[in-house]
Structure 1
Amino acid sequence: MKKLLFVFPVLLFGLFVKAQDGTGSSSSGEQELLFERAVACVKHFEGWHTSRNYPYIGWGHKLLPGERLDSHLTKAQGDSLLRADLRKRCVTFRRFGKDSLLLSVLSYNVGEYRLLGSGKIPKSNLIKKLERRDRDIYKEYVSYRKYKGKVVRSIERRRKCEFALLYIP
């Protein structure tokens, strides 16, 4: 298993290097490659959820009020749900430009309200920093590695992998 955790990021990083053309321009094909990389990353770290993981199904899709649980969700349907969720979150974070996909993947795991704030929850330091146009966000991004106040090494590895794969300098 440890070999798989090491090989997966290395393979995806190879895709990342191929996508860089050195000009700093962002073509539609490059954006699509980044999106595919994000989908693969989420699938790798989320794993497949079945009806016993209620309210999560597929690759981490949380059932919303009014949505019905399909007990025989196919991998294709789960893939479609994941892509729709990521695209919806990309729209939410599009004001952050090239960081929108990175924020979308993070919010898929921690929730949009943890980043953008709502009610009693204040806006995150990550969002505040990006609003100030300060893109030195590695420390803030990786800080989303705790569960019940304790650092979880697997979540920390996930954040570092996401950042390495999806951050556009």
Structure 2
Amino acid sequence: MAFVVSSAFAQGKGEVPDSLFDKAVEFIKRAEGWHRGQMPYIGYGHCLLPGETLTENLSKAQADSLLRSDLRKCCDAFREFENDALLLGVLSYNVGIFRLKGHGRIPKSRLIRKLEKGERDIYEEYVSFRCYKGKVIPSIERRRKAEFALFYIP
């Protein structure tokens, strides 16, 4: 089943091809790996939501479908950023939409504030999402750099 690219992915005259969305899915699969015994995370990093009855015993096809659905939701949350919707969607799949857009007492990220001003020099802000419990994690930093190289559209 082909993914119909929404207006969130408009790029001037054209749209982000399905192949770029598929590339993002495959990248996330490699980066996340298979989550087993790491509840509430299952499949390729899907976080179980309250009321979901899924278990760790899903097939690769089910996990792929969950990943695609989650990534679409993440990208849709950033549709106003047009060319950057996929890049922000990939990041938010890992760190959460609220960490970027803010919510309640959590302020908007510097990355989003910069994009809202129309600034395109966002590399440092993007790669700054490389910490866990306040410490820089080299593998996460490599992941952010790879995501930026693959999905940033100048």
> Do both share a fold (TM > 0.5)?
yes
1:108-147 → structure 2 map (5 Å cutoff): 108-147=93-132
1:2-13 → structure 2 map (5 Å cutoff): none
Alignment check: 8 A CA contact 2:114 2:120 kept: yes
SS at match of 1:57: strand
**Which residue of structure 2 aligns with residue 46 of structure 1?**
32
5+ residue gaps, structure 1: 1-23
- Structure with a larger share of its residues in strand: 2
Sequence identity (%): 62
Amino acid at match of 1:135: R
Alignment check: 8 A CA contact 2:43 2:56 kept: no
- 1:68 aligned to 44, 49, 53, which one? 53
Matched positions, count: 144
Provide TM-score, normalisation by structure 2.
0.89
Separation in 2, partners of 1:26, 1:76: 33
RMSD, aligned α-carbons: 1.3
Separation in 1, partners of 2:129, 2:139: 12
> Which stretches of structure 1, 4 residues or more, deviate above 4 A after TM superposition?
none
Q: In 2 relative to 1, CA 122–25 (structure 1 residues): closer, same or farther, beyond 3 Å?
A: closer
- Structure with a larger share of its residues in helix: 1
TM superposition shift of 1:27: 3.4
Matched, 1:84 2:100: no
SS at match of 1:156: helix
Separation in 2, partners of 1:92, 1:36: 18
Provide TM-score, normalisation by structure 1.
0.81
Deviation per CA, 1:37-63, whole angstroms, max 9, x where unpaired?
11011001100012x110000000000
Q: In 2 relative to 1, CA 86–44 (structure 1 residues): closer, same or farther, beyond 3 Å?
A: same
